[in-house]
Structure 1
């Protein structure tokens, strides 16, 4: 009877330990629970800054259709055997090179790396009007706008964003949310700013997130979610779990023999 009492006590202690280890405080996982929203510094606007390797789709419109044709060239591929167009023609895109330049029809090399969309449109209008196109309407979008979400999330990977407006919360949603073991209080965002990579740390539990410079993400931003301590410890101990169970079983057997 004494042996069974010991076993029962051991089992209670073991189950209690497991229960306590598995309990997660809501304060550690709930988003936007701390602080107040600083409405004066919250902005619903975002600025796109063009960078090398951006693939731009630039559309020039005007009442004079003939005048804008040279600036809206189609991108086509040809079949070598018949020298005919293969597939459906699409609008030509422009890749910003390592110098921040694109090669634009008639205008030649244009340096737009580091410029915002508004600054680029203004520059193009000044170069086109009135010599080439009178009162042109210009639209520019990034065809390869993407962000990367990695670390302790359900679906890590790269995500193409069609409209260029994406918040850190949008990015987390795209990745299927953080796992319970993801550290909400210290999410890392790595951003290219000019020739340097800059790191930002944000706390998803705080409403100060809304005023963070990385609340609105930019193209090629990298979001990384760290694993919490328990997850790291669990990963390091998983390989030894079967050994610990075997040792525990052996110890119980030895105790049983001694008590007899």
Structure 2
């Protein structure tokens, strides 16, 4: 009987140990109390060296703008991912056109105009700058500007870790996590790490997804080359250190224990 009690106690203890503790999984519970003014200010990224800009100029007379649609850089198709809605998978969106690579001094070389500085410019202000420069040659030009290599990395306890190229050069932290299939049940939602390169300086910020306060953080809208890391909880770390054959060992031990108990029962009879 003592063997039987020890066996039952061991099984119960194992089940208690293996159960993951309940953790908060709701996002932004206090959203209704948070002002969104600051988040709007943080939504626009400045153009960075290495960015690839697709710039297309149109006008009423398309023959007039032809000289402005020549590119000195590659115009190869670049695959982007749209942010999924609900449970839909992200869609691949091919983008191509006259492509300009921002050099190390934050300049591009544009047809007919020459060197144009994009330093401290975001897409909207740079579009306006280009429009004003081209207006000296063309009446009422329309400039279409896209950042086609805006990418972020999402790693750790998410369902689809990897690097994602974002259309329109803008996404939020929640949008990037959506592309990565959301956090797994083992991801710590109160301590998500964001690593960012600002003018050559590496910065780190930890975000609590369960609080809407992070909407007003500069890290709510992600920037070019941001890295998001979701830390695993203690149970995931413990399971990673456990021998993968542990389940087999427990099963074998259970069979042996059952046989021992059966033998003891027959012996007493």
Secondary structure of 1:223's counterpart equals strand
How do residues 117-196 of structure 1 correspond to structure 2 at under 5 angstroms? Answer: 117-130=123-136, 132-196=137-201
- Specify which of 207, 210, 217 is matched with residue 215 of structure 2: 210
2:118 pairs with 1:112: yes
Secondary structure of 1:214's counterpart equals coil
Deviates more, 1:219-228 or 1:65-74: 65-74
Q: What is the count of residue pairs matched by the alignment? A: 242
Note the aligned Cα RMSD (angstroms).
3.3
2:107 aligns with: 101
Secondary structure of 2:33's counterpart equals coil
2:20 pairs with 1:15: no
Structure 2 stretches lacking a partner, 5+ long: 77-95
Deviates more, 1:119-128 or 1:186-195: 119-128
1:197–1:134: structure 2 CA closer, same or farther, 3 Å change rule?
farther
TM-score (normalizing by structure 1):
0.78
Q: Please report how far the alpha carbon of residue 162 of structure 1 lies from its aligned counterpart in structure 2 after TM superposition.
A: 1.9
1:234–1:20: structure 2 CA closer, same or farther, 3 Å change rule?
closer
Q: State whether residues 37 and 210 of structure 1, in contact with CA within 8 Å, keep that contact through their aligned partners in structure 2.
A: no
> Could you list the per-position Cα deviations for residues 39-64 of structure 1 after superposition, in whole angstroms to 9, with x for gaps in the alignment?
25454562131111211011222334
Distance in 2 of aligned mates of 1:61 and 1:38: 41
Q: State whether residues 32 and 207 of structure 1, in contact with CA within 8 Å, keep that contact through their aligned partners in structure 2.
A: yes
Structure 1 stretches lacking a partner, 5+ long: 78-89
TM-score (normalizing by structure 2):
0.75
Q: State whether residues 114 and 194 of structure 1, in contact with CA within 8 Å, keep that contact through their aligned partners in structure 2.
A: no
